[in-house]
Amino acid sequence: MSSERVPVELSKGVNGLEKIILRETRGSSAEVYMYGGHVTSWKNEHGEELLFVSSKALFKPPKAIRGGIPICFPQFSNHGPLEPHGFARNRLWSIDTDPPAFPTNSSNKAYIDLILKPSEEDMKIWPHSYEFRLRVALGPGGDLMLTSRIRNTNTDGKPFTFTFAYHTYFSVSDISEVRVEGLETLDYLDNLLNKQRFTEQGDAITFEAEVDKIYLSTPTKIAILDHEKKRTLVLRKDGLPDAVVWNPWDKKAKAMADFGDDEYKHMLCVEAAAIEKPITLKPGEEWRGRQELSAVPSSYCSGQLDPRRVLQGS
């Protein structure tokens, strides 16, 4: 076999759906389905999967894929009149052959540009003209970067408003051994209590029951410490002030047809989002929201992140 890795490859995925495989020279990889512009895999250089996709995920339009990184647009969850999480995650995207200029690391060849525009059917439920450009890139160190650019292309002079989330499902060894750092003392809306507002108490967030919270005015960096895997997943974000933390726990897991009864133990959603203050774009205006995911070895002895390791991004 040739040692030369093709950085970008078009391929057929589950049920014949088209997907793009990105590969980095050191061995990390990512997979993106054209259906939903949906990242379904992100592996480190050792071939370990860092995202969770349910074993019962259907990969059958019009159902969204359960796991990976669904894109919630133009609506997060039920925060509006559309179907929950909007429609971008169950539309067929296209490869953007002529994306506008992009400040990019020129040495980085493992990336793909996708684009979504509204169909006539979409215009009936959300009557706005837009261009949604998504770049998925794999950095030299195996970091996964998603950049969304949404432009209002209405010709009738009308602005539009949307909410947004990268609904990232991380793979974890055991949810009861995981902690999330960076959201301590922040206000959140509790989706399990009718979106009431509370303030997070105490230390890092740990899990012993169903959680569905929208944290507000969050820092640009959030860390997920996985004790058993001795790994820390770091989420950095830009243009996305909120962060959703979700785990369905046992009862909800059993109620979802496309989710295994016990799979909640091995996943955690931490989502970079813009929900509390919806984004409004006038015609011609563009919004940009970016998230970068990296995995670093973590020393757990102090119970804290080793800041040197994360800052150097080793």
pLDDT, one tens digit per residue, over 32-64 is 999 999 999 999 999 999 999 999 999 999 999
Spatial contact of 116 and 132, defined as CB atoms under 8 Å apart: yes
The band of 101, judged by pLDDT with boundaries at 50, 70 and 90, is: confident
What's the chain's average pLDDT?
A: 92
- pLDDT tens digits for range 180-222: 999 999 999 999 999 999 999 978 999 999 999 999 999 999 9
Residue 287 forms beta bridges with which residues? 150
| Mean pLDDT value of segment 8-36 | 97
Return the structure tokens found at 265. 């133990």
Q: Active-site positions?
A: 167, 271
Task: Look at residue 310 and tell me whether its pLDDT is greater than 60.
Answer: no
- pLDDT tens digits for range 113-141: 999 999 999 999 999 999 999 999 999 89
Edge to edge, the sheet with strand 130-138 lists: 94-95, 111-116, 130-138, 144-152, 286-297, 231-238, 221-226, 178-181
Spatial contact of 60 and 15, defined as CB atoms under 8 Å apart: yes
Instruction: Give me the pLDDT at residue 241, please.
Output: 98
Give the Cα separation of 273 and 123 in Å (integer).
24
User: Which domains does the chain show, CATH number per domain?
Assistant: 8-173+238-297 (2.70.98.10)
Give the distance, in angstroms, between the CA of residue 78 and the centroid of all CA atoms in the same chain: 18
Instruction: Give me the pLDDT at residue 40, please.
Output: 98
In this prediction the pTM is 0.93
The band of 312, judged by pLDDT with boundaries at 50, 70 and 90, is: very low
The band of 6, judged by pLDDT with boundaries at 50, 70 and 90, is: confident
The band of 98, judged by pLDDT with boundaries at 50, 70 and 90, is: confident
Percent of the chain surpassing pLDDT 90: 86
